[in-house]
Structures are given as structure tokens and as C-alpha cells.
Structure 1
Amino acid sequence: MTADIRVTAPAGESARPARQSGPPRRPRRGRYGAHIFLSAVSLAFLAPLLLAVYASLRPYEETAQHGYFSFPKKLSFDYYRAAYTESGMGKYFMNTLIIAVPAVIVTLFLAAFVAFAVARVNIRGSLALLMFFTAGNLLPPQVLVTPLYVLFLNIDLPWWMSDSMTLYDSYWAVIIVNVGFQVGFCVFVLANFMRTLPKEILEAAIVDGAGVWTQFWRITLPLCRPAVAALATLEFTWIYNDFLWALIFISNPDKLPITSSLNNLRGQFFTDYNLLAAGSVLVALPTILVFLLLQRHFIAGLTLGSSKG
């Protein structure tokens, strides 16, 4: 007879699997190369911003004598105060918000509707419709400058919507153009994102009696929150930094957006580039703040679909 010998763990302790013997696994050498490459690329993208911040803290006389890459003797925030007051940034910031915020909201709202119809509603020609919206982004904006200029001059608006009584020289002109050129890209992104959502969710909602509006507003749109947040970050950055449309469709200098305020810091015969650098940093701060606030959703929107499970 053979006796069964069992080893039991002491009370209060669970049996642990035996550790594998041998040397610890070392990270692959390729990871070091990837980290070095990504660090170099990040530094290359951050170098202009860091140089602008560094120059904005130094007097122009010092950089003119010793160069921008010299060791600083004095650092101060005087240029930031001067850039904000001399360029009138407060007024231009408000003008930019009046243009950018409604444009982003309307763009995402319309794009979500069209994307849901293309991706989730069985309609004929949905693929052709998606290709139509995508092809709109391939058209150079400069081609439509003259037709839109003439068109906006001939569209009348009431006095409470525009001081010029036309669509030209109003915030509405810039908002409409930005919406028209950005909605195609958002439709393309949201439609492809909605196609990845499980169909069983909507099928279960239909069985429970959910209508099309409920399927869109209460089921599909909440699931698209990461993609919408990522698009909101990109769209706000693009519309905020736009200079072409406002320069063409707005003639009143008091209505121009923040990007045009930097031109007020340029003198007729002399330009203090340290002061201009301080103004550029102030202009870039809102977009950086928006990215920091939506960073988690933005990264989630970019990484969704990169792995299964």
C-alpha cells in the first residue's frame, strides 16, 4: 500500500504557485529605441514653445546683445503684462469665444446626427453620403473665398443679428464657414466610431420599444463620449487658431479674433520679438487649458479600438 502524502498550507495562508527560477526577464532592446525616438520627437515639437517662453521672460536688449541661446541675467513677466494691455487681448479673447464655442457645438451636433444616420440607420446611399462629406474636406478652402465673399455681401440680416445688416462683417459668417468646413471630418470620425459599437445594444433597445431619437440621444451618443471629446478638443483648437476666414469676412477690427491681436504688437519700423513671443504664449494658453481639461477623454478617444477585449 502506498500512503498519500499531501502538503497543506498553514491556516490563514493560501497556497501560492511556485515562482519560476532563472534570471528576470529584461525589457526588449527595441523599447529603449522607441523611448529615445519618442522623446526626441516630443522635444522637437516642444522646442519652439519652450524657446518662445524663454524669450518672453528676457529683455530685448539682452537677447539682441547676447543672442537668444545665451544664459539669462534677468527674468521677468513684464512682457506678458505689456502684451495683454497693448494688444487689447481681453476684447479679442471674447470675440474668439463668440465664434469658437457655437461653431464647435453646432459642428458636433450636426455631425453626430449625420453619423448616426450613416452608421446606424438603414438608408440607401449611406456610403456615398459618407464619401460626400469626406470629399468636402479635400476641397481647398481658398477656392471658395471669392464666391463666399460675394454671397455673404448679398445676404441680408436684421439689425439685431449684424451691425452691417448683411452676413458679411458679422460673427455669423465665420461661424457658418467653420461649421461647413469642419462637419465633414467630424462625420467621418463619428460614423466610423459608431460602426464599432455592438449592434446588440440597439437591437435590445428596439425590442424594448425605443424610438430612433432614444437610440441616438440616450444610447449611442453617451457611448461616443470619448470620440466626441477628442473631436471637441481638435475642433476648438483649429477654429480658435483660424485666421483666414475672420480676416476675409470681418472688416470691423473690433470683431476680429485673438489671432489677429498679435498683429497689434508689431511696430511699423521696429518689432520687439520678445514682446511678440509673450503675446504668442498668451494666445496659446486657452488651447493648452482645453487640452488639459479634456486630456483623459481625448486620449481615450484616440486609443479606443486599438486593442480587442
Structure 2
Amino acid sequence: MFPTPIEKASGTTRWLYKVALPISMVLWLLPIIAVMLTSIRGQADLTNGNYWGMPSEWMLIENYSAVFQNTPMVQYVLNSFYVTIPTVIGTVVLSTLAGFALGTYRFKLNMVVFLLFVGGNFVPFQILMIPVRELTLKMGMYDSTMGLVMFHIAFQTGFATFFLRNFIRDLPYELIEAARIEGASEWQIFHRVVLPLVRPAVAAVAVLIFTFIWNDYFWATVLIQGDHAMPVTGGLKSLNGQWVAQWQLVSAGSILAAMPPVIIFFLLQKQFIAGLTVGATKG
């Protein structure tokens, strides 16, 4: 059922694995390497078509300084935090509560409600562009970080609830019954029994949601127009010149924009991996 571990494979298979793995890693890293090299090139290199060779002039300090000095990059980054952090908090709070209810209580419409959460994840978000835009206009939340936050919370809660409900449902039900016999309220059961046991899963959801929202470009450009609320992914387009394409600045801004999710992942790496592997083994 499961693939044979590489240590137990034949000698030929191990040799092919050792050859294919570095090649695959290099191919996967090529676009990132290209962006990093472009971020330290001068405009002359790009004009002359020097995209993959070593830069003829190193513009590391100049390019990264220009990103902050000539564009509202700091405002874009702050806007991304203003959108991402409330979204993560709101999504985690709502999904843990919904996951607790769907994973703990046995009522007739439990599966129906759960399928509603799951079904929302299969709706292509592109078809919601016009209805969501019109809704935010009518509610007075268009072109604001609050409107973007509310939409992301509503759209991400379904996935997070699906993720956490399965973890909560796999917990020993005897623990919850024992807590009720001892006189614990439902809030105490959730806060003191269930939540500590699913903390790795909550951390994994938080990292995933943070990455999803921070890297979002589509809704950032659909629901936001002005620089006052534009996240960094949508703001990168302003790094290009009006008449000349300044790809070195766009590349430098892209590297800076990619740093927060990478830092968050490495800070919560243990919790993230634990959350994804909880229940993977038995015994």
C-alpha cells in the first residue's frame, strides 16, 4: 500500500534517487535563484538580456534601498500585516469553535453542516469576484482592509473547520465524557481539554492561513484600489516604472515580500510538522 522506503530499495533505485533528487531541487530553485540574481542587477544587465549570467554590476544596496525610498513599500508591508494577522486570529477562533461543535456533538444535521463547510472549498473563487465586489460596495467596505479581512475570514473558515474538525473527532471521546461527569462546562471542556490536545493542529492551520492570505494577489487587486490599504502582493506592481520596466526593483520587492511567511514557517516549523502528522501512526 505504501511505497518502499528508499533505504530498503534496490541499489539501482537508490542510485537513481541520489541523482534525481539534486537535479529536481536545482530545477525547483531555478526561478527563485533567477529572482534573487535579478534583484541585485543593474538596469543595463536587463536591457542587454543578461538574465542568467553573473551581474556585471552589483546593485544590492542600491536596489533594496530604492524599494523603500522610491515606493510606499513599508505601507504595503504594514497593510499586509493589518490584513493577515486579524484574518488568522478570526479564522482560528471561528474554526476551532466550529470544529469543536462538529467533532464533539452528535446531532442529526452534523454531517449536513459539515458538508456545507467542505462544499464551500470547492467553489472556484473567481466566480465570486463580481458578487463579492458588489457586496463590499453596498456594505461600505470596498477599498478597505476591514473588507478584505472579513472576506478572507469567511472564505478560509471552511477549510480550517474541515481541518480541525477531523483532528477533534479523532480525540478519545471518553475524555470529554469524563470531563462532563466531573461537572466541567462546555467552555471548560473546549478550553482545558480539547484545545491543548489539538494545539499542533491549530498551529499548522495558523501557518497555512498566514501563508495563504499573505501571498494572496487576486483579492488584493479586486477589493483594494488605493495604496492606503493595498497589501504588498498587490503593491509590487507599483515598483515597475511607468515607461521603463524596472524588474530589478520588482524582484527585490518580491524577495522582501516573501520573507515574513518564510520566517513564520521556520519559527513554527516543529508545531507545523507535528500538526500535519498527528494521528499518522498508531501504537
- The two structures share one fold, judged by TM-score above 0.5: yes
Deviations 1:265-303 (A, max 9, x none): 112221122222111101111111111111111111122
Q: How does 1:142-291 map to 2 (within 5 A)?
A: 142-155=126-139, 166-291=140-265
Q: CA deviation at 1:137?
A: 1.0
Matched residues in 2 for 1:302 and 1:35: separation? 26
Contact 2:99–2:162 at 8 Å: present in 1 too?
yes
The answer to which of 102-111 and 251-260 deviates more is 251-260
**Residues 1:67 and 2:41 aligned together:** no
CA gap 1:55/1:168 in 2 versus in 1, 3 angstroms: closer
Q: What's 2:38 paired with?
A: 55
Q: What is the TM-score when the length of structure 1 is the normalising length? A: 0.82
The answer to which of 232-241 and 141-150 deviates more is 141-150
Matched residues in 1 for 2:137 and 2:254: separation? 33
**Residues 1:109 and 2:93 aligned together:** yes
Matched residues in 2 for 1:100 and 1:180: separation? 13
Moved >6 Å (runs of 4+): none
Q: What's 1:123 paired with?
A: 107
The answer to which of 266-275 and 284-293 deviates more is 266-275
Matched residues in 2 for 1:115 and 1:287: separation? 25
Contact 1:80–1:275 at 8 Å: present in 2 too?
yes
Helix, strand or coil: the match of 1:210?
A: coil
Q: CA deviation at 1:194?
A: 1.1
Unaligned runs of 5+ in 1: 1-25, 156-165
Unaligned runs of 5+ in 2: 1-6
Contact 2:42–2:55 at 8 Å: present in 1 too?
no
Q: What is the TM-score when the length of structure 2 is the normalising length? A: 0.89
Q: How does 1:71-86 map to 2 (within 5 A)?
A: 71-75=54-58, 76-86=60-70
CA gap 1:113/1:68 in 2 versus in 1, 3 angstroms: same
Matched residues in 2 for 1:182 and 1:98: separation? 17
Structure in which a larger fraction of residues adopt helix: 2
Contact 1:99–1:175 at 8 Å: present in 2 too?
yes
Q: CA deviation at 1:139?
A: 1.0
User: How many residue pairs align between the two structures?
Assistant: 274
Q: How does 1:85-96 map to 2 (within 5 A)?
A: 85-96=69-80
CA gap 1:87/1:27 in 2 versus in 1, 3 angstroms: same
Q: What's 2:3 paired with?
A: none
Query: % of aligned pairs identical?
Result: 35
CA gap 1:101/1:32 in 2 versus in 1, 3 angstroms: farther
**Structure of higher CA gyration radius:** 1
Q: CA deviation at 1:37?
A: 4.6
